[in-house]
């Protein structure tokens, strides 16, 4: 796909669907990346200090550059845009290129979520027409369903936050499940000390102020903390439910049935309508379509529907397109409110 001719054809295909071409800045403020991804991401970016003392970096991601453009230009309402260019990111694997050539397209600021999701996926599929591939797989996931599952589980709020926040960090997430199974994060000695403090403070004046909070407020927090430790059997069962959920993979037309069967089995108050998914056919063009609950990991800013397209080209399996919904990204970058956004990008590095 290094052919400029093929790249031009993809661009023309996207443009024919009503997307407007835009230019994106190659350099952005490092703080935008670090604030969203954390200091640990710094080792992957190419940064420098400009003449005014600001830290800048080469864009490591075209989606972030596009969302910053929407935010910095104070744009309002719906935009259908597309762009092409290079993203620059270091890799621990020396075989990987530090330059990623991409074509991306997005729908930003529209509240027509389901139709926008369909349009992004259909545009991606139709843009494949000039690729001489023999077969392929379209995998669809949904981060929102995972978050809804976690919200319904009988575990402390802090655990719900941990599991949803670290869903994309697979190794760390698995470590969290191990801790959940064994209660290894709960120190029984500290729990007993907290109980004794709690009983002692109950006898004191509830309206007295300690470190800016009333004793009553402190005791309410203590009460939650004391109840926080879980029985090992409960933690083990919750971990089992999560692991079973993440193994679900089926043809897309069975997604609603399989998920609802799982929810009913574990007495979880959730129902998913088959219409919830952007595609209902198991085969589109030369692509078999599957739903996977575990897909969406390592894609840290996605919030809802996610998808990828893998194709067989010249006897090799290649990932050519990835996309999804990222409704919180522009807010995380500094917007005062959440702005809906969904998009996809073609990888041109093969």
Q: What is the pLDDT along the chain (350 residues), one digit of tens a residue?
A: 456 777 888 999 999 999 999 999 999 988 877 776 666 678 888 999 999 999 999 998 899 899 999 998 999 999 999 999 999 988 877 777 889 899 999 999 999 999 999 999 999 999 988 788 889 999 999 999 999 999 999 988 889 999 998 998 888 999 999 988 876 554 455 556 666 776 777 777 777 777 667 877 777 766 666 555 445 568 889 999 999 999 999 999 999 999 999 999 999 999 999 999 999 999 998 999 999 999 887 667 899 999 999 998 888 888 889 999 999 999 988 888 999 999 999 988 76
- Classify residue 180 by burial, with Cβ atoms within 10 Å: 0-12, 13-18, 19+: buried
In this predicted structure, what is the pLDDT of residue 194? Answer: 60
Helix axes 143-152, 157-165, angle to 10 degrees: 170
Please report how many Cα atoms fall inside a 13 Å half-sphere around the Cα of residue 205, on the Cβ side: 5
In this predicted structure, what is the pLDDT of residue 3? Answer: 61
Closest by CA to 272, choosing from 299, 254, 292, 251, is 254
Token pair recorded at residue 231 = 């029985």
Q: How many CB atoms lie within 10 A of CB 325?
A: 26
- Residues pairing with 88 in the sheet: 99
- Residues pairing with 179 in the sheet: none
Q: How many CB atoms lie within 10 A of CB 312?
A: 14
CB 62 within 8 A of CB 87: yes
CB 219 within 8 A of CB 198: yes
| Whole-structure pTM value | 0.81
In this predicted structure, what is the pLDDT of residue 157? Answer: 87
Cα 32-343-1 angle, rounded to 5 deg: 100
Closest by CA to 134, choosing from 14, 310, 280, 321, is 310
Closest by CA to 172, choosing from 162, 181, 182, is 162
Q: What is the Cα–Cα distance from 99 to 60, expressed in whole angstroms?
A: 9
Q: Which run of H or E residues covers position 157?
A: helix 157-165
CATH for 4-150+243-347, options being 2.30.110.20, 2.10.10.90, 3.30.930.10, 3.40.470.10: 3.30.930.10
Helix axes 62-72, 30-37, angle to 10 degrees: 110
Q: Is 267 left (phi over 0), alpha (psi -120 to 50) or beta?
A: left
CA dihedral 17, 345, 142, 79 (to 10 degrees): -50
Query: What values do phi and psi take at 175, rounded to 5?
Result: -65, -40
In this predicted structure, what is the pLDDT of residue 216? Answer: 78
């Amino acid at each position: 796909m290094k052919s400029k001719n093929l790249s031009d054809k993809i661009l023309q295909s996207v443009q024919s669907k009503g997307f407007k071409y835009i230019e994106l800045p190659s350099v952005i403020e490092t703080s935008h990346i670090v604030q969203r991804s954390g200091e640990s991401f710094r080792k992957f970016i190419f940064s420098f200090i400009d003449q005014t003392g600001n830290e800048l970096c080469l864009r490591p991601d075209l989606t972030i550059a596009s969302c910053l453009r929407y935010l910095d230009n104070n744009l309002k309402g719906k935009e259908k845009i597309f762009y092409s260019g290079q993203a620059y990111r270091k890799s621990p694997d020396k075989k990987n290129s530090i330059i990623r050539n991409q074509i991306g397209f997005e729908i930003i600021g529209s509240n027509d979520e389901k139709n926008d999701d369909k349009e992004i996926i259909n545009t991606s599929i139709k843009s494949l027409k000039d690729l001489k591939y023999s077969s392929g797989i379209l995998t669809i996931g949904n981060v929102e369903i995972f978050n809804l599952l976690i919200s319904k589980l009988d575990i402390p709020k802090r655990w719900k936050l941990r599991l949803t926040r670290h869903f994309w960090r697979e190794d760390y997430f698995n470590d969290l499940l191990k801790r959940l199974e064994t209660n290894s994060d709960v120190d029984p000695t500290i729990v007993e000390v907290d109980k004794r403090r709690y009983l002692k403070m109950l006898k004191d004046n509830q309206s007295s102020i300690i470190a800016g909070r009333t004793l009553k407020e402190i005791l309410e927090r203590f009460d939650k903390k004391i109840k926080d430790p879980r029985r090992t059997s409960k933690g083990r069962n919750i971990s089992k439910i999560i692991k079973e959920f993440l193994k679900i993979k089926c043809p897309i037309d069975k997604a609603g049935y399989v998920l609802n069967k799982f929810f009913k089995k574990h007495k979880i108050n959730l129902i998913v309508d088959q219409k919830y998914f952007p595609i209902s056919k198991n085969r589109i063009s030369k692509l078999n379509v599957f739903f996977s609950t575990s897909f969406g990991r390592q894609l840290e800013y996605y919030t809802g529907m996610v998808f990828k397209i893998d194709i067989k080209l010249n006897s090799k399996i290649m990932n050519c397109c990835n996309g999804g919904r990222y409704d919180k990204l522009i807010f995380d970058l500094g917007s005062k409110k959440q702005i809906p956004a969904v998009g996809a990008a073609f990888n041109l590095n093969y």
